[in-house]
Chains A and B, each alone.
Chain A
Amino acid sequence: MSNNNFLGFNRKPSDTKVVVAMSGGVDSSVTAALLVEKGFEVVGITLQLYDYGKTIEKTGACCAGSDINDARLVASQLDIPHYVLDYESKFKEQVMDDFADEYLAGRTPIPCVKCNQTVKFTDLFKMSKDLNADALATGHYVQRVEGENGVELHRGDDHEKDQSYFLFATTKDQLDYLRFPLGNMNKLETRKIADKFDLKVKDKPDSQDICFVPNGKYSDIVRRLRPGSIEAGNITYIDGSILGKHNGIIDYTIGQRRGLGIGGVSGLDETRLYVVDINVEKNQVVVGPKEALNVDEIYLKDMNWISDASLSEENIFVKVRNTGNLIKAKLKLINNQVILLPEEHTEGISPGQAAVIYNIKNTNHVLGGGWIEETKSKFVANHKNSFSAA
């Protein structure tokens, strides 16, 4: 071990100024507590992202109004300076509006990644640098590793809690400045530390939902943000035949089976039908059998590479949803278009989600990722051909 301190700086913790992004949850509170205990000069910052009065009452999600107060309480308990920054208008423009537009475009967005990309790692970054801080620390369960070719992003030790999926868009510059003190801990250890410090938030439940979408009712938020832009349309089978009506494509996500509202259609068992496509031009929700969810090719856009590795054609692992497993896949680069070919059964992927790419030799190592633009399925292609032939 070198003389480097806990955060990797070659100087005393007391001479190292760290901004901690405090959401008011257990993880970021423990992050702040740990750094205070180690003797760092800690400044807590909490982002006010939307008007809590106007957003539906909720618990169990991050960044609610009461969470700002919790962050304040913890900061006062730790006796550190703490500030609340108003990023409401930025969050609205860069995260919530994008969220609504993505749903209207038939995709399933991940606002947490957008938030990390914009308000958290752009604006909060500038703030931290303006304050002459040496680093910005968060309570994410990921690890920052000093590799041979510079800094690397790795999965958190606790794979259940790992948040690398949400951080694939982090740039190398950002990663350089970031610190993740919880990266090598599991949730139990974090809770223990919260207990040890008797933090006011120690018994708070983990956040589950998207912070501004309480109870998972994302379509309510989209309707509020984009009134009048949601139209009823048809639910069709993959062969084009009309099975029923929908009240807006935003109510459906790919892979959805329940609540399709097309019961009693002759010849088809509704319980075996899945949403397999959302056709924005025709304002149609397309349903089909489970096999139609199979994905054989994944087209990505807006790639972010954290690693310098050459990636023309590689064997990689990929995650196409946060809670998903690592899937073995081939990565092809054709005319700057990144295409992933899963080598394991893969189904039900929505455009708008992220595909995060991991090193085949070290599955903890995040190489980068991109946004899923389109997927292709041999099953659907074959059926379309046979339908149009018929």
Chain B
Amino acid sequence: MSIYLDYNATTPLRDEVKKEMLDIMGPPLNASSVHSFGRQAKTHLENARTSISNFVNANSDQIIFTSGGTEANSMIMQIFKRPLISSIEHDAVIASSKNPNFIDVDSNGLVKIDDLEVKIKKFNPDIISVMWANNETGVIQPIKDIVKIAKKYKVYVHCDAVQALGKIDINFKASGLNSLAISSHKIGGPVGVGALIVDDPYNLNPIILGGGQERGHRSGTENLIGIVGFGSAARKIFLDNTEINNIMSLQKKFEKLIKSKLPNIKIFGENVPRLPNTTCVYMPHMNADAQVIAMDLEGFSVSAGSACSSGKVKSSHVLEAMGAKWASNKSIRISSGWQNTKNDLEKLAQFYVELYKRTESKEKEIINA
């Protein structure tokens, strides 16, 4: 059995989540129905909404369930005409932005606040979108400062918090953001559910029309079993935030181990605030796709940046934006989670070092030959 270290791609379904989902599976559950089954479904739906609203500190009526993070981001981005987005956004934001302009990031992967202000003046954007934490490097963005600047120029500000949720505190009300996108399957819930959280839902322009579910913002019979799973995962993390400390100590141990053996190793965003579970690391003599395959053959599931649907590895636009084009197709991401043990990360560190040294010596052979 492979050791799974790709939690930023998706997570295993938590046991308690699975149980709650199984418990409601079976009966007909259309929350719009008048009868008793419908009322029961509605209760499940609203309980889940409450769990999410507690988790991110938003009002229940500010939460719109979607099919996932991508839809939540698209719902917002497609409304605006002059988006200004960070150069390290996820494809879900980039692809749904109309002719976006980009805010630069520094070599640590942090959005440059001065560039944000320059670009606002230059492009007069109608929306600013910066992710809370980057999916590839884990670097946490200065959301507070970004919101402050956005407010100063009275620009709408959206945040893709898909990767940050469950790993660091997300407080929607305190953030001052206008909208926030989150996803269930990154926190131990099922795939196929997410939410858009908006301060004022009445500015929205629905992309799916029909029966008027989610107060008209997102039609279609609710994915109730998925939503219940999402709510359950949110509740679990909200009530018990100790697991992330354990993950952080494992991840730190891993980094320490590889650094002790490979003193020149490059870990991106090493000295800035970063998600506790994410390490993006560069290996000079091996392409990222080869690293991921070699790891997989050895029983470690990791990835190189964000995967596209065909499963092919593309070079990282995030590292390129950080001025590290040289590393953009030679870096992989290791993202751990609650099922990982100390042993998992120790074994990975051992193999990583072995692979690094093996390819380094092969490269030397070629040069000497």
Question: B290 touching A131 by the CB < 8 A rule?
Answer: yes
| Residues of B with C-beta under 8 A to A261 | none
Most B-side CB within 10 Å, residue of A48, A83, A85, A127: A83
Rounded to whole angstroms, the CA-CA distance of A86 and B316 in the bound complex is 13
In the assembled complex, the CB of B98 is this many whole angstroms from the nearest CB of chain A, namely 22
| Residues of B with C-beta under 8 A to A81 | 293, 296-297
| Residues of B with C-beta under 8 A to A43 | 293, 297
Question: B289 touching A85 by the CB < 8 A rule?
Answer: yes
Cβ 8 A contact of A132, one of B289, B311, B358:
B358
Residue B152 at the A interface, CB < 8 A?
no
Cβ 8 A contact of A83, one of B287, B293, B358:
B293
Question: B359 touching A130 by the CB < 8 A rule?
Answer: yes
Question: A84 touching B311 by the CB < 8 A rule?
Answer: yes
Residue B312 at the A interface, CB < 8 A?
yes
Query: How many of A's residues come within 8 Å of B, CB to CB?
Result: 14
Residue A68 at the B interface, CB < 8 A?
yes
Cβ 8 A contact of B310, one of A68, A129, A132:
A68
Residue B286 at the A interface, CB < 8 A?
yes
In the assembled complex, the CB of B282 is this many whole angstroms from the nearest CB of chain A, namely 16
Question: A83 touching B294 by the CB < 8 A rule?
Answer: no
| Residues of A with C-beta under 8 A to B358 | 132
CB interface residues, A 50-98, toward B, < 8 Å: 68, 81, 83-86
Rounded to whole angstroms, the CA-CA distance of A206 and B302 in the bound complex is 37
In the assembled complex, the CB of A127 is this many whole angstroms from the nearest CB of chain B, namely 5
Rounded to whole angstroms, the CA-CA distance of A84 and B296 in the bound complex is 13
Chain A binding surface SS class: mixed
Rounded to whole angstroms, the CA-CA distance of A338 and B311 in the bound complex is 46
Residue B347 at the A interface, CB < 8 A?
no
Smallest Cβ-Cβ distance to B293: which chain A residue: A83
| Residues of A with C-beta under 8 A to B286 | 130
Rounded to whole angstroms, the CA-CA distance of A85 and B362 in the bound complex is 22
Question: A83 touching B289 by the CB < 8 A rule?
Answer: yes
Question: A131 touching B314 by the CB < 8 A rule?
Answer: no
Question: B362 touching A129 by the CB < 8 A rule?
Answer: yes
CB interface residues, A 80-136, toward B, < 8 Å: 81, 83-86, 126-127, 129-132
Rounded to whole angstroms, the CA-CA distance of A126 and B294 in the bound complex is 13
| Residues of B with C-beta under 8 A to A130 | 286-287, 290, 294, 359, 362
Residue-wise interface mask of B (310-335) relative to A, using a CB-CB cutoff of 8 A (1 in contact, 0 not): 11111000000000000000000000
Question: B310 touching A84 by the CB < 8 A rule?
Answer: yes
Residue-wise interface mask of A (242-266) relative to B, using a CB-CB cutoff of 8 A (1 in contact, 0 not): 0000000000000000000000000
Most B-side CB within 10 Å, residue of A43, A83, A130, A132: A130
Question: B310 touching A131 by the CB < 8 A rule?
Answer: no
Smallest Cβ-Cβ distance to A41: which chain B residue: B297
Question: A127 touching B296 by the CB < 8 A rule?
Answer: no
Smallest Cβ-Cβ distance to A17: which chain B residue: B297
Question: A86 touching B297 by the CB < 8 A rule?
Answer: no
| Residues of A with C-beta under 8 A to B287 | 127, 130
Question: B294 touching A85 by the CB < 8 A rule?
Answer: no
Question: B313 touching A86 by the CB < 8 A rule?
Answer: yes
Rounded to whole angstroms, the CA-CA distance of A152 and B364 in the bound complex is 28
Rounded to whole angstroms, the CA-CA distance of A131 and B293 in the bound complex is 8
27 A–B pairs (Cβ distance < 8 Å), ordered by A: A48-B312, A81-B293, A81-B296, A83-B289, A83-B293, A83-B296, A83-B311, A84-B310, A84-B311, A85-B289, A85-B312, A85-B313, A86-B312, A86-B313, A126-B290, A127-B287, A127-B290, A127-B293, A130-B287, A130-B290, A130-B294, A130-B362, A131-B290, A131-B293, A131-B294, A131-B297, A132-B294
Q: Add 4 more A-B contacts to A48-B310, A84-B310 (CB < 8 A).
A: A85-B312, A86-B313, A127-B293, A131-B290
